[in-house]
Amino acid sequence: MKIVKEFSRFAHEYNMHNIIQSKVASKLVSMLEKNHYSSVLDLGAGAGAIYENMICNNIKIDKFTALDFSREMLNLHPKGKNIQTICLDFNNSNSFKIYVDKEFSILISASALQWSTDLSAVLNSISRLADEYYFAFFTSKTFSTLHKVAGVQSPIYSQKSIFDALENYTIDRMEEIQYHLSFDSVLEMFRYIKRSGVSGGAGVLSYKEMKNIMKNYPLDYLEFEVLFIRAKIK
Ligand SMILES: C[S@@+](CC[C@H](N)C(=O)[O-])C[C@H]1O[C@@H](n2cnc3c(N)ncnc32)[C@H](O)[C@@H]1O
């Protein structure tokens, strides 16, 4: 509940703070092999980066379903005859009961599933929905120096826990990419984290921990690690 409020509060300025997510969406879409899909489900679709990248890449889509639990984010999603926006929570397995088996040719999700409360459960409840799956997960190595300086454990899933959660999937392509994003000050880094929607990790820091990071953070950039996966169900 807290997370959806954060996204909704910053929805209007989301596009200014999504530099890394926009690279991630573009990379994930570049992994698509066909130039036509009959039905696409985008989990945590947000303002529509996946849809827009598919259109820019001249990929034809008959029916695009954009699922997100933030109405404000969905309001920013492109609209069209072939686009359905649907306001549902992917943590709730009932959200998917409306769909028949293999309703979608692909299920795609960029920069969203790090928010799942139980990744295995979400991957399990979507496992009958599509022929192919494309995921981009931020991993626990995101903000790793920041977490180290703060002395806190990353709240984001590690690579190992992501692979464990994917046990019912056959992974046929996997890529890991590290991104660095530079800032003029640590204060600006915090602002970015707060508004970008990458992780609630910095949100759980106390005032004292934040002060400590401001003093001791050794880098002038933030670190991100993203795991790109193409998979099928076993
Ligand atoms: C960082 S944004 C990424 C948006 C888009 N996929 C992109 O690549 O730009 C994460 C999105 O996931 C959505 N989200 C987070 N938790 C969710 C949940 N439990 N159910 C549905 N959507 C969720 C947020 O509202 C937000 O729009």
Q: What is the pLDDT of residues 150-161, one digit of tens each?
A: 888 888 999 999
- pLDDT for res 180: 87
- pLDDT > 70 fraction of the chain, expressed in percent and rounded: 88
Q: Output the CA 215–ligand 1 centroid distance in Å.
A: 32
- Whether residue 206 has pLDDT greater than 80: no
- pLDDT for res 212: 83
- pLDDT for res 1: 34
For residues 207 and 227, give the distance between their C-alpha atoms in angstroms, rounded to a whole number. Answer: 31
Measured from the CB, is residue 70 less than 6 Å from ligand 1? yes
SS3 state at 137: strand
Please state which of the ranges 46-60, 94-108, 151-165 shows the lowest mean pLDDT.
Answer: 151-165
- Atom number of ligand 1 nearest to Cα 73: 27
- pLDDT > 90 fraction of the chain, expressed in percent and rounded: 65
Measured from the CB, is residue 10 less than 6 Å from ligand 1? no
Q: Are strands 36-43 and 83-87 parallel, antiparallel or unpaired?
A: unpaired
Please state which of the ranges 41-45, 68-72, 216-220, 225-229 shows the lowest mean pLDDT.
Answer: 216-220
- pLDDT for res 78: 98
Pocket perturbation via mutation, ligand 1, pick of 3, 7, 125 by most ligand atoms within 8 A of CB: 7
- pLDDT for res 182: 85
- pLDDT for res 31: 97
For residues 145 and 162, give the distance between their C-alpha atoms in angstroms, rounded to a whole number. Answer: 21
- pLDDT for res 207: 76
Per-residue pLDDT reduced to its tens digit, 159-175:
999 999 999 999 999 99
What rounded mean pLDDT belongs to the chain? 88
**Residue reference for tokens 């795991």:** 227
Looking at this protein, which amino acid is placed at residue 162? Answer: I
Domains of the chain: residue spans and CATH: 2-140+154-180+225-233 (3.40.50.150)
Q: Tell me how long the chain is.
A: 234
CB-neighbour burial class of residue 29 (10 A; exposed 0-12, middle 13-18, buried 19+): buried
- The arithmetic mean of pLDDT across residues 191-207, rounded, is 64
- Atom number of ligand 1 nearest to Cα 136: 8
